[in-house]
Structure 1
């Protein structure tokens, strides 16, 4: 499990393109037949992907966690962005279709991922934060994920937001998690942008063709930079950074947050006219 140490807003100003990518970009963790994990020092997040094919995959712990099992002191969000699959938590098995999400509470010693078909495997995107107590493991199917329509075709940002783990959905300690889908013809996400020092945010882009890209915007509003991203890439956003972007076509992304406030609407707006 690779560890990512994020730069502060002072060092950020002097970073080259490659340094920005090394610090804030986690490349695709989707590797068939394996579980791939990355540790981010920011709010001690762990992101990963489990892509079972023929054989089930057990979620491992890692020496860096100093724990007997992965969720000994952690909670976990599991979003299926592939074919139909199953996640087993202890003695309970949950069927996850495409875009279903499973919240797993602290204290689940064994977690196993399985695909229904090796030819169309499930791709389980994983997002985890430390947890101070245990909340109930909860399956949230796409159709029950509180869809909200935002934006417009005129401003090229018409999008549907699905909230899975949040104050009025699956309960958690600090994890907030959902998905945004851009409508055909729209390319801008999270515009106008915002920051929130009370929690960091992680984006995982998907539903991108191999030749498509997203230009992910980051940094303070008066000192923006961009990172060019492809399918399954992950961008880490500290509290002082905006998180927005535009693609070469419509796309989807999973957004996840950890920190001290789970109120989805807790944002500090950054006016578009002030962006530089």
Structure 2
């Protein structure tokens, strides 16, 4: 099911393209993320941003916005937290997968995949608790659904893509505390801010690599510069993305059964 698309006028009477949800899922938390995980993910995200210990690109594939360290921290923290949450979910379902990698790689060195289980590669995507889309930046994927940065490495094929939603949303926390756009920050103050939160997650669903190819073939696509739901700067798409709505994704328990039967 596609997003609804219409032209609306902004406050300067300019026509803008707005995409609206048509098939949603309510946030239904599965579990609370432990303090130990929060601490480990904090150290990783801080090192990859303010700490300057690893490389994390300061823009999205095809994006025009250049992210500050606060934004890189928030995105890195969110993404790695989702990996740990899924790892815990897998373990609780008797799927023995390696613990998420917190190695801080230099530029040009990539993870082969977020998770691998019996030669099945799984990508993890995350969004806010009220998010309703899995977004895949179009410049990262070719028409065969292969991950372009990993082409010719043997690691370009992801078999499954899982979406997790995290509450609260780290970007919002940093924005409310006026440090999202910082390039320097006191580490202890930021850690205190993060550690006083209670993070929970849900898993609205997953898609297969074949589903991704179908999205590409059928042009399930939101262009750079379009808006989601309302005309507001925070809802403006920074890069071209393929999309699928949460209400159209496969239930996670189906994938768990598939993996358990391998």
Answer whether TM exceeds 0.5 for this pair. Answer: no
Q: Of the two structures, which has the highest relative contact order with CA contacts closer than 8 Å and spacing of 6 or more? A: 2
Shorter chain as denominator, the TM-score bin is under 0.3
> Whose helix proportion is higher, 1 or 2?
2
* TM-score calculated relative to the size of structure 2: 0.27
* TM-score calculated relative to the size of structure 1: 0.26
